[in-house]
Homo-oligomer: A and B are copies of this chain.
Amino acid sequence: MTQTQWIWYPGDFEIYQGMKQNFDREERGFFWPAYWYTPGWNHNVVFSKTYQITAPTHFTVQGHGRGNVVINLPVAGQTDPQQIKHPFNTDIVCPVGNVKIEVIVGNLSGLPSAFIQGDVIHSDASWLATNYLGDPLPVGANKYFTRADQNPMTFEYSHRLLQPLAIKVVNGGTLLDFGHDYTAVTQVAFKQGFKPLIICYGESETEALDVEMTYMKQTLDQGQSDFGSYQADTYRTKLRAFRYLFVPGEPNLDQVATITADYQYVDFPAISHFKSSDQELDEIWKISDRTLRLCSGLFIIDGAKRDRWIWAGDAYQSYYMNQYDFFDKGLVERTMLALRGNLDIKQHLDTIIDYSMYWIIGVEQYYQTFADKTFLKAIYPKVESLMRYCMAQTNDLGFIYGRKGDWVYVDWADIDYDGTVSAEQMLLARSYQAMSHIQSILGIESTEFESKFTDLKRNIWQYFWDAEKGAFIDSYESGKHHVTRHANIFAVLFDYTTTAETKQIINNVLLNDEITAINTPYFKFWELEVFAKLGMFDNLKDQIKSYWGGMLQHGATTFWEYFDPNETKPAEYAMYGDKFGKSLCHAWGSSPLYLLGRYVMGLQPTKPGYATFEVAPHTDWFTDLDCTLPIADGTINITISDGTLTVQATQAGGTLNYAGQQLVLPANQPVSVPVEA
């Protein structure tokens, strides 16, 4: 018997919990729900499954919501079955026959869900759900909701109660340091009864001590609100991300209250491991892993403190980091479903056209990583409809353009946005390829997207490739022939350029100081990947050392949203015109996980789900190395020691590409070769 699971309408758990997530941003005493259209879940659903019952069998149904249970029993000679109805929470005996069980649940304020327990009849992913539109679909369910006393509206985080690592009296108050950022409930246990303490939060000490300007601050009360609640001499706040807590005006805090942090997290497994002769890289790996985990829970969010929102661009990059770190399939699925929302789409993801296209490309990337055709099939209608939503705003040349309300983002950069923009067309071309590939995986026979891709690529070259400049220009309509790095990076990354064109782009764009430098870590991700892809490992190393190593030198214990080595405190904590507006724990700060794993270790699946894979370590960065990375259900270990490179994988299908050789990696057997001079 399979595990009994709570079930819901497919995708609705993610829409419900995603809305909860996107309404969780807090700033200076108020909430800030994500500023885009927020689709809702289905409130009225029917779950069903047909059983061939050979002996009377008992079952019970729990539902979150109002409803009933219908046993549909065929009657000889009649079209309509006999319907026997039961309330929830009663012992139901199902009679013998080819019986269709229906569980009807309506939930006004939350997510309708059901938990059906019985020896034969019980709820799991094999049930179907309908919202009364179209044919029933396989239900949603996940591994976290398997107990009768649960409610899929309330996720049960893992907990760890943290004591401050250091406490000091400063500025007439008490400062607590928990060592690095955590997403935690602040728990204030009063020793001699309640006192309206003020808690100032900080990702940095500077922020926590800035009582006036800190991003989050709360004066405790004895009530209950969205910010926390008081009970039994203890105030428990809502979840917040912080490293420091400052309690102003309380130099003797230890006599007033004990403050602990109830750290709440999703317990992703510790899979990857990176230890080498380069201690700085080791630290970068460790901090990257910490940062990514703090930005990963039910969903991948952009930053732990801010925005706490699910952004498709940020998430897309994090899929790659997750692949080389804790390899959580459910995390990617939940994030994709939350981002996408309902089948009928009313607005680009997070309002941004490029983000819609990253999402489509991300689905292909998901399959390449996890090879789950069931999920791919389930999400496919949402993929195709989003693709068509994008196609509906292309012009005669096939170029996608922004409509009123659309955000043509690409990057915070001096891009010439006049008319259609080249970087967007690159993403559109890449989306067509993803569609074509996804369709072929699902056995959908069509050449539509292949030919869309061919036509679009031809037009991109005709209109955006500037032969004189030897580069792609942003806009052909403006007449400015302005070049930025973005479209050129995509063209190389997506393998669209010939060797000659690539060389031109390297010289005319990537290594050309006259072309404005990429100055966001968001796009630096792709720029560094291009360096790695083109074998420009020195550039890669320089950047990793200066940017991430630079952050470490500035005291980072998680990686920041943005780093400029020339800035110092407090200016380095400012962003968006806000003194403490910068997120100091930002998912995209974790990109070394991917850059090191994918390029420096050279690990990649060569067939979906690592049925085959290759590893091609760039050994000259290390004299010693011990690195473990995930490969589907297993791991691969790469070591360098005493001049020997050893690679061992827990599953077959691997190839070690090294020093011009291709060596087969048998399961669980080490393969060693001398390190190349």
Complex contact A20–B133 (CB within 8 A): no
Contacts of A279 in B (CB 8 A): none
Min CB gap A442→B, angstroms: 23
Contacts of A104 in B (CB 8 A): 32-33, 35
Given A23-B108, A85-B28, A108-B23 in contact, is the A33-B67 Cβ separation under 8 Å? yes
Stretch at the interface among A40-48, A193-201, A596-604: A40-48
Identify A66's interface contact among B23, B35, B65, CB under 8 A: B23
Asked if A383 is an interface residue, CB under 8 A from chain B, the answer is no
Among residues of B, the one whose C-beta sits closest to the C-beta of A106 is B33
Counting chain B CB atoms within 10 Å of each CB, the highest count among A29, A88, A106, A344 belongs to A106
Complex contact B405–A33 (CB within 8 A): no
Bits for A15-47, please: 1 = Cβ < 8 Å to B, else 0: 010011011000111111111111011111000
Among residues of B, the one whose C-beta sits closest to the C-beta of A112 is B33
Complex contact A405–B134 (CB within 8 A): yes
Among residues of B, the one whose C-beta sits closest to the C-beta of A38 is B44
Bound together, the chains give a CA A37 to CA B106 distance in angstroms of: 11
Bits for A86-126, please: 1 = Cβ < 8 Å to B, else 0: 11100000000000000011101110000000000000000
Asked if A546 is an interface residue, CB under 8 A from chain B, the answer is no
Complex contact A41–B40 (CB within 8 A): yes
Bound together, the chains give a CA A108 to CA B20 distance in angstroms of: 6
Asked if A68 is an interface residue, CB under 8 A from chain B, the answer is yes
Bound together, the chains give a CA A369 to CA B403 distance in angstroms of: 41
Complex contact A38–B30 (CB within 8 A): no
Asked if A132 is an interface residue, CB under 8 A from chain B, the answer is yes
Complex contact B344–A31 (CB within 8 A): no
Min CB gap A20→B, angstroms: 5
Min CB gap A153→B, angstroms: 9
Closest CB pairs A-B (n = 4): A33-B106, A31-B66, A40-B40, A38-B44
Contacts of A110 in B (CB 8 A): 109
Complex contact A106–B38 (CB within 8 A): yes
Min CB gap A12→B, angstroms: 11
Given A108-B19, A108-B23 in contact, is the A43-B38 Cβ separation under 8 Å? yes
Contacts of A109 in B (CB 8 A): 109-110
Min CB gap A67→B, angstroms: 6
Given A30-B68, A40-B43, A344-B344 in contact, is the A132-B35 Cβ separation under 8 Å? yes
Given A30-B88, A32-B68, A34-B44, 12 new contacts (CB under 8 A): A23-B44, A23-B108, A28-B85, A30-B68, A30-B86, A31-B68, A32-B104, A35-B132, A37-B131, A37-B132, A38-B42, A133-B347
Asked if A346 is an interface residue, CB under 8 A from chain B, the answer is yes
Min CB gap A458→B, angstroms: 35
Complex contact A132–B347 (CB within 8 A): yes
A-B contact pairs, 16 of them (CB 8 A): A16-B108, A29-B87, A30-B86, A31-B68, A32-B68, A32-B104, A33-B65, A33-B67, A33-B105, A38-B42, A38-B43, A38-B132, A40-B40, A40-B43, A109-B110, A344-B344
Min CB gap A41→B, angstroms: 7
Bound together, the chains give a CA A88 to CA B225 distance in angstroms of: 13
Contacts of A65 in B (CB 8 A): 33
Asked if A226 is an interface residue, CB under 8 A from chain B, the answer is yes
Bound together, the chains give a CA A110 to CA B19 distance in angstroms of: 12
Among residues of B, the one whose C-beta sits closest to the C-beta of A225 is B89
Min CB gap A337→B, angstroms: 17
Bound together, the chains give a CA A347 to CA B38 distance in angstroms of: 21
Min CB gap A113→B, angstroms: 14
Among residues of B, the one whose C-beta sits closest to the C-beta of A577 is B83
Residues 127-180 of A contacting B (Cβ, < 8 Å)? 131-134
Min CB gap A116→B, angstroms: 15
